[in-house]
């Protein structure tokens, strides 16, 4: 499978988002790849609201079976969520369960005016009715469950995508 070039996809995602961005729009990245992507989108879109981040570790519906991730991070939402348009950002959309967990956590901070989802790649394989409003690339065929698509960020700040074995 040939992977799309991540830097080109970021340009596409910015172009999709720009017309809908308002002065109040805030971005919240999902750790880890979603935060990296949100940082880049935040800069490219010139947003004024501070960037937020969410670690969904405590909100996952498989916490009992998977346990807590060893590198759980602190969520930070440094803006008032109430009445604000918010875009949740993740690198790869798969089952929809991570997005559902992010929504649950976001609403603990308040009731946004609107919540959208922006992803670099939709890999297919949805288990929940979650759809990204902004998506730079949809894989033609869903990846098998034993493969994951991972976003990497180099020391130079450039992004790349690679296929890895699922854990």
d(CA 13, CA 135): 6
Q: What is the pLDDT of residues 109-131, one digit of tens each?
A: 999 999 999 999 999 999 999 99
Contact 37, 91 (CB under 8 A): yes
Q: Residue 61: inside a domain, yes or no?
A: yes
Residue 47 forms part of a structural domain: yes
Domain encompassing residue 115: 6-165
The answer as to whether 83 is a domain residue is yes
* Phi, psi (deg, nearest 5) at residue 54: -130, 135
Residue 130 lies in a domain: yes
Q: How many domains does the chain contain in total? A: 1
Split at pLDDT 50, 70, 90, the class of 167 is confident
Model pLDDT for residues 42-86, shown as the tens digit of each residue: 999 999 999 999 999 877 665 545 555 556 678 999 999 999 999
Residue 94 phi, psi (nearest 5) = -125, -100
Alpha-carbon distance of 164 to 20, in angstroms, equals 34
pLDDT at site 57: 85
Residue 118 lies in a domain: yes
Report if residue 1 sits inside a domain. no
Please list the helix, strand and coil fractions of the chain in percent, rounded to the nearest 5, in that order: 30, 30, 45
What are the E-state strand segments in 71-158? 85-93, 114-122, 134-138, 147-153
Does pLDDT of 160 surpass 80?
A: yes
pLDDT at 60: 61
**Who has greater pLDDT, 65 or 144?**
144
Residue (of 121, 127, 111, 118) closest to 149 by Cα position: 121
Tell me, yes or no, whether 82 lies in a domain.
Answer: yes
What token pair was written down for 109? 């901070």
């Amino acid at each position: 499978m040939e992977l799309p070039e991540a830097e080109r996809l970021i340009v596409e995602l910015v172009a999709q988002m720009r017309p809908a961005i308002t002065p109040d729009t805030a971005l919240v990245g999902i750790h880890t790849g979603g935060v990296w992507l949100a940082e880049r989108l935040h800069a490219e879109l010139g947003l004024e609201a501070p960037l937020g981040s969410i670690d969904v570790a405590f909100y996952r519906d498989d916490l009992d079976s998977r346990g807590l991730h060893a590198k759980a991070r602190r969520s930070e939402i440094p803006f008032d969520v109430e009445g604000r348009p918010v875009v949740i950002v993740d690198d790869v959309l798969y089952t929809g369960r991570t997005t559902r967990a992010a929504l649950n956590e976001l609403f603990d901070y308040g009731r946004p005016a609107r919540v959208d989802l922006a992803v670099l790649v939709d890999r297919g394989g949805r288990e929940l009715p979650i759809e990204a409003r902004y998506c730079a690339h949809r894989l033609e065929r869903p990846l098998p469950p034993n493969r994951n698509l991972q976003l990497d960020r180099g020391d130079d700040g450039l992004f790349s995508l690679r296929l890895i074995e699922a854990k």
